Chains A and B, each alone.
Chain A
Protein backbone atom coordinates (compact mmCIF):
# COMPACT_ATOMS: atom_id res chain seq x y z
CA UNK A 1 0.00 0.00 0.00
CA UNK A 2 1.43 3.43 -0.88
CA UNK A 3 2.22 5.67 2.08
CA UNK A 4 -0.22 8.48 2.83
CA UNK A 5 1.42 11.88 3.15
CA UNK A 6 0.43 14.67 5.53
CA UNK A 7 -1.57 16.54 2.91
CA UNK A 8 -3.69 13.48 2.09
CA UNK A 9 -4.18 12.72 5.77
CA UNK A 10 -5.42 16.27 6.42
CA UNK A 11 -7.72 15.96 3.43
CA UNK A 12 -9.21 12.66 4.64
CA UNK A 13 -9.56 14.02 8.17
CA UNK A 14 -11.44 17.05 6.83
CA UNK A 15 -13.79 14.73 4.94
CA UNK A 16 -14.35 12.63 8.07
CA UNK A 17 -14.94 15.72 10.21
CA UNK A 18 -17.58 17.02 7.80
CA UNK A 19 -19.69 13.85 7.82
CA UNK A 20 -22.85 14.56 9.84
CA UNK A 21 -23.07 10.94 11.08
CA UNK A 22 -20.76 9.77 13.82
CA UNK A 23 -17.92 7.88 12.17
CA UNK A 24 -15.25 5.83 13.90
CA UNK A 25 -12.47 3.61 12.59
CA UNK A 26 -11.41 0.75 14.86
CA UNK A 27 -8.47 -1.59 14.42
CA UNK A 28 -8.76 -5.38 14.77
CA UNK A 29 -8.59 -5.05 18.56
CA UNK A 30 -11.44 -2.53 18.44
CA UNK A 31 -9.13 0.31 19.44
CA UNK A 32 -10.35 3.67 18.14
CA UNK A 33 -7.92 4.92 15.50
CA UNK A 34 -10.00 7.89 14.44
CA UNK A 35 -13.37 9.47 15.14
CA UNK A 36 -15.14 12.58 13.94
CA UNK A 37 -16.81 15.38 15.94
CA UNK A 38 -20.28 13.91 15.25
CA UNK A 39 -19.22 10.65 16.95
CA UNK A 40 -17.85 12.67 19.85
CA UNK A 41 -21.22 14.40 20.23
CA UNK A 42 -23.37 11.27 19.83
CA UNK A 43 -21.34 9.16 22.27
CA UNK A 44 -20.62 12.04 24.64
CA UNK A 45 -16.95 11.09 24.65
CA UNK A 46 -14.09 13.52 24.19
CA UNK A 47 -11.89 12.73 21.21
CA UNK A 48 -8.62 13.15 23.11
CA UNK A 49 -9.81 10.74 25.82
CA UNK A 50 -11.09 8.17 23.32
CA UNK A 51 -8.66 7.78 20.43
CA UNK A 52 -6.21 5.00 21.25
CA UNK A 53 -8.61 3.28 23.64
CA UNK A 54 -10.69 0.13 23.01
CA UNK A 55 -14.27 1.16 22.21
CA UNK A 56 -15.86 -1.52 24.48
CA UNK A 57 -13.91 -0.16 27.46
CA UNK A 58 -15.27 3.34 26.81
CA UNK A 59 -18.83 2.18 26.18
CA UNK A 60 -19.06 -0.09 29.20
CA UNK A 61 -20.05 2.71 31.64
CA UNK A 62 -22.66 3.94 29.14
CA UNK A 63 -24.19 0.64 28.02
CA UNK A 64 -23.53 -1.67 30.94
CA UNK A 65 -21.53 -4.87 30.68
CA UNK A 66 -24.24 -7.03 29.03
CA UNK A 67 -24.87 -4.74 26.08
CA UNK A 68 -21.17 -3.94 25.77
CA UNK A 69 -20.34 -7.66 25.55
CA UNK A 70 -23.02 -8.14 22.89
CA UNK A 71 -21.69 -5.20 20.89
CA UNK A 72 -18.11 -6.46 21.21
CA UNK A 73 -19.15 -9.92 20.01
CA UNK A 74 -21.00 -8.35 17.07
CA UNK A 75 -18.01 -6.21 16.07
CA UNK A 76 -15.68 -9.22 16.28
CA UNK A 77 -18.08 -11.09 13.98
CA UNK A 78 -17.82 -8.23 11.50
CA UNK A 79 -14.03 -8.65 11.56
CA UNK A 80 -14.16 -12.44 11.26
CA UNK A 81 -16.96 -12.87 8.77
CA UNK A 82 -16.66 -9.64 6.75
CA UNK A 83 -20.33 -8.78 6.99
CA UNK A 84 -22.10 -5.53 7.84
CA UNK A 85 -23.98 -5.27 11.11
CA UNK A 86 -26.89 -2.99 11.94
CA UNK A 87 -28.06 -2.47 15.49
CA UNK A 88 -29.41 0.07 17.94
CA UNK A 89 -27.83 1.29 21.15
CA UNK A 90 -29.82 2.80 23.98
CA UNK A 91 -28.10 4.95 26.57
CA UNK A 92 -28.59 8.21 28.46
CA UNK A 93 -32.24 8.43 27.28
CA UNK A 94 -31.09 8.33 23.67
CA UNK A 95 -31.32 5.82 20.87
CA UNK A 96 -28.43 5.51 18.44
CA UNK A 97 -28.55 3.53 15.21
CA UNK A 98 -25.26 1.77 14.55
CA UNK A 99 -23.90 0.30 11.33
CA UNK A 100 -20.61 -1.57 11.41
CA UNK A 101 -18.77 -2.52 8.24
CA UNK A 102 -15.46 -4.30 7.77
CA UNK A 103 -12.55 -1.99 6.94
CA UNK A 104 -10.90 -3.77 4.06
CA UNK A 105 -8.08 -3.44 1.62
CA UNK A 106 -8.45 -5.57 -1.50
CA UNK A 107 -6.77 -8.99 -1.11
CA UNK A 108 -5.81 -8.35 2.50
CA UNK A 109 -7.25 -9.48 5.81
CA UNK A 110 -9.84 -7.19 7.38
CA UNK A 111 -7.87 -4.45 9.12
CA UNK A 112 -10.65 -3.14 11.30
CA UNK A 113 -14.22 -1.91 11.53
CA UNK A 114 -15.87 1.30 10.41
CA UNK A 115 -18.75 2.39 12.63
CA UNK A 116 -21.40 4.84 11.51
CA UNK A 117 -23.66 6.21 14.25
CA UNK A 118 -26.84 8.23 13.93
CA UNK A 119 -28.83 9.69 16.78
CA UNK A 120 -32.39 8.53 16.08
CA UNK A 121 -33.88 9.55 19.44
CA UNK A 122 -36.26 12.12 17.88
CA UNK A 123 -37.34 9.71 15.14
CA UNK A 124 -38.00 7.01 17.76
CA UNK A 125 -40.00 9.49 19.89
CA UNK A 126 -42.09 10.49 16.85
CA UNK A 127 -42.69 6.81 16.05
CA UNK A 128 -43.75 6.21 19.66
CA UNK A 129 -46.16 9.17 19.53
CA UNK A 130 -47.74 7.80 16.33
CA UNK A 131 -47.96 4.34 17.90
CA UNK A 132 -49.71 5.78 20.97
CA UNK A 133 -52.14 7.77 18.81
CA UNK A 134 -52.95 4.67 16.78
CA UNK A 135 -53.57 2.68 19.96
CA UNK A 136 -55.91 5.43 21.23
CA UNK A 137 -57.82 5.45 17.94
CA UNK A 138 -58.18 1.67 18.06
CA UNK A 139 -59.49 1.90 21.63
CA UNK A 140 -62.10 4.49 20.65
CA UNK A 141 -63.12 2.42 17.67
CA UNK A 142 -63.60 -0.57 19.99
CA UNK A 143 -65.66 1.46 22.48
CA UNK A 144 -67.96 2.96 19.84
CA UNK A 145 -68.41 -0.44 18.20
CA UNK A 146 -69.51 -2.07 21.47
CA UNK A 147 -71.83 0.87 22.21
CA UNK A 148 -73.50 0.30 18.83
CA UNK A 149 -73.90 -3.40 19.58
CA UNK A 150 -75.36 -2.68 23.02
CA UNK A 151 -77.86 -0.13 21.58
CA UNK A 152 -78.98 -2.73 19.03
CA UNK A 153 -79.50 -5.31 21.79
CA UNK A 154 -81.58 -2.83 23.86
CA UNK A 155 -83.77 -2.05 20.87
CA UNK A 156 -84.31 -5.77 20.40
CA UNK A 157 -85.30 -6.12 24.09
CA UNK A 158 -87.79 -3.21 23.75
CA UNK A 159 -89.30 -4.84 20.64
CA UNK A 160 -89.65 -8.16 22.51
CA UNK A 161 -91.45 -6.49 25.46
CA UNK A 162 -93.81 -4.65 23.09
CA UNK A 163 -94.55 -7.94 21.35
CA UNK A 164 -95.46 -9.51 24.71
CA UNK A 165 -97.85 -6.59 25.31
CA UNK A 166 -99.26 -7.24 21.80
CA UNK A 167 -98.21 -3.78 20.70
CA UNK A 168 -96.44 -2.87 17.47
CA UNK A 169 -92.62 -2.97 17.66
CA UNK A 170 -90.83 0.39 17.83
CA UNK A 171 -87.48 -0.49 16.23
CA UNK A 172 -87.91 -2.51 13.02
CA UNK A 173 -84.24 -1.85 12.22
CA UNK A 174 -83.27 -4.00 15.23
CA UNK A 175 -85.14 -7.01 13.84
CA UNK A 176 -82.76 -9.27 12.00
Chain B
Protein backbone atom coordinates (compact mmCIF):
# COMPACT_ATOMS: atom_id res chain seq x y z
CA UNK B 1 0.00 0.00 0.00
CA UNK B 2 1.52 3.37 -1.00
CA UNK B 3 2.50 5.79 1.73
CA UNK B 4 0.25 8.82 1.97
CA UNK B 5 1.90 12.24 2.08
CA UNK B 6 0.23 15.56 2.86
CA UNK B 7 1.75 18.52 1.00
CA UNK B 8 1.09 21.91 2.60
CA UNK B 9 2.09 25.00 0.64
CA UNK B 10 0.29 28.21 -0.25
CA UNK B 11 1.96 28.45 -3.67
CA UNK B 12 -0.17 26.40 -6.12
CA UNK B 13 2.63 25.84 -8.66
CA UNK B 14 5.04 24.56 -6.06
CA UNK B 15 2.35 22.40 -4.51
CA UNK B 16 1.65 20.86 -7.91
CA UNK B 17 5.35 20.26 -8.64
CA UNK B 18 5.91 18.54 -5.29
CA UNK B 19 2.77 16.48 -5.80
CA UNK B 20 3.91 15.40 -9.26
CA UNK B 21 7.38 14.44 -8.03
CA UNK B 22 5.97 12.37 -5.18
CA UNK B 23 3.22 10.76 -7.27
CA UNK B 24 5.71 9.71 -9.94
CA UNK B 25 7.75 8.04 -7.22
CA UNK B 26 4.73 6.01 -6.15
CA UNK B 27 3.43 7.99 -3.19
CA UNK B 28 -0.20 8.86 -2.62
CA UNK B 29 -0.60 12.58 -1.98
CA UNK B 30 -3.03 14.99 -0.41
CA UNK B 31 -2.66 18.74 -0.62
CA UNK B 32 -3.55 21.68 1.60
CA UNK B 33 -3.34 25.36 0.63
CA UNK B 34 -2.49 26.52 4.10
CA UNK B 35 -2.19 25.68 7.77
CA UNK B 36 -5.91 25.75 8.52
CA UNK B 37 -6.70 23.35 5.69
CA UNK B 38 -3.84 21.11 6.81
CA UNK B 39 -5.21 20.88 10.34
CA UNK B 40 -8.73 20.21 9.03
CA UNK B 41 -7.42 17.41 6.80
CA UNK B 42 -5.42 15.88 9.64
CA UNK B 43 -8.55 15.83 11.80
CA UNK B 44 -10.31 13.72 9.16
CA UNK B 45 -7.63 11.57 7.57
CA UNK B 46 -4.45 9.82 8.55
CA UNK B 47 -1.21 10.48 6.69
CA UNK B 48 2.24 8.95 6.88
CA UNK B 49 4.20 12.18 6.35
CA UNK B 50 3.66 15.92 6.06
CA UNK B 51 5.71 18.10 3.71
CA UNK B 52 5.14 21.49 5.28
CA UNK B 53 5.91 25.04 4.20
CA UNK B 54 6.54 27.58 6.97
CA UNK B 55 5.60 30.94 5.52
CA UNK B 56 1.91 30.88 4.75
CA UNK B 57 -0.79 33.49 5.35
CA UNK B 58 -3.05 33.27 8.41
CA UNK B 59 -2.14 29.87 9.88
CA UNK B 60 1.55 29.36 9.11
CA UNK B 61 3.71 26.27 9.38
CA UNK B 62 4.88 27.15 12.89
CA UNK B 63 1.26 27.24 14.05
CA UNK B 64 0.63 23.84 12.48
CA UNK B 65 3.65 22.48 14.39
CA UNK B 66 2.43 24.08 17.63
CA UNK B 67 -1.02 22.52 17.16
CA UNK B 68 0.46 19.10 16.42
CA UNK B 69 2.68 19.40 19.48
CA UNK B 70 -0.16 20.49 21.76
CA UNK B 71 -2.32 17.64 20.45
CA UNK B 72 0.52 15.21 21.16
CA UNK B 73 0.65 14.24 17.48
CA UNK B 74 4.06 15.70 16.70
CA UNK B 75 5.85 12.42 17.34
CA UNK B 76 3.24 10.35 15.55
CA UNK B 77 3.51 12.03 12.14
CA UNK B 78 6.92 12.73 10.64
CA UNK B 79 7.20 16.25 9.23
CA UNK B 80 9.60 17.47 6.57
CA UNK B 81 9.81 21.24 6.48
CA UNK B 82 10.25 22.62 2.97
CA UNK B 83 10.83 26.32 3.26
CA UNK B 84 12.65 29.37 1.94
CA UNK B 85 13.72 30.18 5.49
CA UNK B 86 17.37 29.18 5.59
CA UNK B 87 18.53 30.83 8.79
CA UNK B 88 20.16 28.62 11.44
CA UNK B 89 17.75 29.84 14.11
CA UNK B 90 14.79 28.58 12.06
CA UNK B 91 16.48 25.22 11.49
CA UNK B 92 17.11 25.02 15.22
CA UNK B 93 13.45 25.84 15.94
CA UNK B 94 12.21 23.26 13.47
CA UNK B 95 14.58 20.43 14.26
CA UNK B 96 15.20 20.88 17.97
CA UNK B 97 12.16 22.67 19.36
CA UNK B 98 9.46 21.08 17.21
CA UNK B 99 11.36 17.87 16.49
CA UNK B 100 10.61 17.78 12.77
CA UNK B 101 12.23 14.91 10.91
CA UNK B 102 14.01 16.99 8.28
CA UNK B 103 14.46 20.55 7.09
CA UNK B 104 14.84 21.29 3.38
CA UNK B 105 15.43 24.80 2.07
CA UNK B 106 14.00 26.11 -1.19
CA UNK B 107 14.97 25.93 -3.97
CA UNK B 108 15.18 22.17 -3.59
CA UNK B 109 16.57 19.38 -5.69
CA UNK B 110 14.11 16.69 -6.82
CA UNK B 111 16.38 13.75 -5.97
CA UNK B 112 17.27 15.28 -2.62
CA UNK B 113 13.58 15.72 -1.80
CA UNK B 114 12.80 12.10 -2.70
CA UNK B 115 15.76 10.79 -0.71
CA UNK B 116 14.83 12.75 2.35
CA UNK B 117 11.14 11.86 2.12
CA UNK B 118 12.10 8.17 1.85
CA UNK B 119 14.44 8.52 4.83
CA UNK B 120 11.75 10.32 6.88
CA UNK B 121 9.30 7.53 6.15
CA UNK B 122 11.87 5.12 7.51
Q: Which residue of A lies closest to B60 (CB)?
A: A29
CB pair B90–A52 under 8 Å, yes or no, is no
Contacts of A105 in B (CB 8 A): 88
Contacts of B93 in A (CB 8 A): 27, 31, 33, 52
Alpha-carbon distance A45/B65, docked complex (angstroms): 20
B84-122 vs A, CB cutoff 8 Å, 1 = contact: the mask equals 010111101100111000000000000000000000000
Contacts of A34 in B (CB 8 A): 92
Q: Does A75 contact B (CB under 8 A)?
A: no
Residues 4-26 of B at the A interface (beta carbon under 8 Å): none
Majority DSSP secondary structure for residues of B touching A: helix
CB pair B62–A33 under 8 Å, yes or no, is no
Report the interface size class on chain A.
10 to 19
Residues 66-98 of B at the A interface (beta carbon under 8 Å): 66, 69, 85, 87-90, 92-93, 96-98
Q: Which residue of B lies closest to A27 (CB)?
A: B89
Residue ranges of A at the interface with B (Cβ–Cβ < 8 Å): 1, 4, 9, 25, 27-29, 31, 33-34, 51-53, 103, 105, 108-109, 111-112
Q: List 22 A-B contacts (CB under 8 A).
A: A25-B89, A27-B89, A27-B93, A28-B85, A29-B60, A33-B89, A33-B92, A33-B93, A34-B92, A52-B65, A52-B66, A52-B69, A52-B93, A53-B66, A103-B89, A108-B87, A109-B87, A111-B87, A111-B89, A111-B90, A112-B87, A112-B89
Residue ranges of B at the interface with A (Cβ–Cβ < 8 Å): 60, 62, 65-66, 69, 85, 87-90, 92-93, 96-98
